[in-house]
Amino acid sequence: MEDQGQSGILVVTDEESNREELAKILQNEHHLEFGVGSKDIIETILERKPDLILLDLWLGGIDSFELLSRLKEIDETRDIPVILLTSNASVEDEERGLRLGAVDYLTRPFHSAIVTARVRIQLDLIKHIRTIERLGMIDALTDIPNRRFFDMRIKEEWRRACRHKSHISILMLDVDKFKNYNDTYGHPQGDRLLKFIGKILMDNLHRPSDMAARLGGEEFAVLLGDTDTAGAVKVAEAIRRGIEHGIVFTPEGEPTSITISTGISSIIPSTDGDYMELIQQADKYLYTAKENGRNRIVFKE
């Protein structure tokens, strides 16, 4: 939930006066959206993925403490900082909110300098945390996500597909005869080739939710949410062609090329299913692609 680099803030309040005051203070520096206390607010938060939530302690439709507790139990929302809004919270209420996971309080009437400072502190902190996380989740060679990032994202996409009853697809890709390539041209050239493949993968993903990852060695994966088999095959074929027709030059100017084999698995998951079965099925089709001559895509017809 970002707009032109601005941090996204979701204000959950039933009071129009709160919306007006906070908009005056924050809307010039941040992207503000508003929600009300209703049974759908969790779904709203999951869809919008704000960087920060300002949650009114007194909502008409739901219990704010219960909502805060639920947010901290859900993987996708657990790490979103929540600042509580209040006008007359008791010490006990403040202690309870902080114990449940709130990071701070803002007290009405709102003072512009205090609101700005406390919001900025939390947003700076979350950006710092994300930078640290990114450094641990990006493959240093190809500059695309690594296996750790892939494992985290597939769990998120699986749960999202379960909620929306939508397809999720995985492409498992492996470079054909990579050992021969390394033996012929040397490991530094093999690294150049892997960087090239990472770029081809990224160039063929056109939605923010799609992701490519290097799982290790010459093995890659592509995760496609809300995509059925036909859509996944289309992406896989574009990647296959891009790699097959691509040229990677050696430092001496010699042109080299490679091919890639792909297995595809697609499903509309259920809550009693396991995303590992999706990965294993794609791996099985990848193995079949290798057995059947390489440089091809295998999937369930």
Q: Which of 2, 218, 237, 291 is catalytic?
A: 218
Q: Which CATH superfamily is domain 147-298 in?
A: Reverse transcriptase/Diguanylate cyclase domain (3.30.70.270)
Catalytic status, residue 21: no
For the record, the structure tokens of 181 come out as: 């390539």
What is the domain partition of the chain in residue ranges? 8-135, 147-298
**How many angstroms separate the first and last alpha carbons of the chain?**
37
H or E stretch including 12? Answer: strand 8-12
Return per-residue pLDDT of the chain as tens, 301 residues.
544 467 899 999 999 999 999 999 998 999 999 988 887 899 889 888 899 999 999 888 788 999 999 998 887 888 899 999 988 767 888 888 888 989 999 998 899 999 999 999 999 988 888 787 777 899 989 999 999 999 989 998 998 899 889 999 999 999 999 999 999 999 999 999 999 999 999 999 988 789 999 999 999 999 999 999 999 999 999 999 999 999 999 999 999 999 999 999 999 998 888 899 999 999 999 999 999 999 999 998 7
Q: Are 26 and 4 in contact (CB under 8 A)?
A: no
Q: Are 8 and 49 in contact, with CB atoms under 8 Å apart?
A: yes
Looking at the DSSP assignment, which residues form a beta bridge with residue 265?
Answer: 170
User: Distances from the Cα of 140 to the Cαs of 136, 181, 216, in angstroms?
Assistant: 9, 21, 11
Q: Which helix (H) or strand (E) holds 261?
A: strand 260-267
Residue 298 near residue 265, CB atoms below 8 Å: no
The pair of three-digit structure tokens given for residue 116, joined into one six-digit string: 């700005």
* Top CATH class, 8-135: alpha beta
Its pTM stands at 0.63
Q: Are 221 and 235 in contact (CB under 8 A)?
A: no
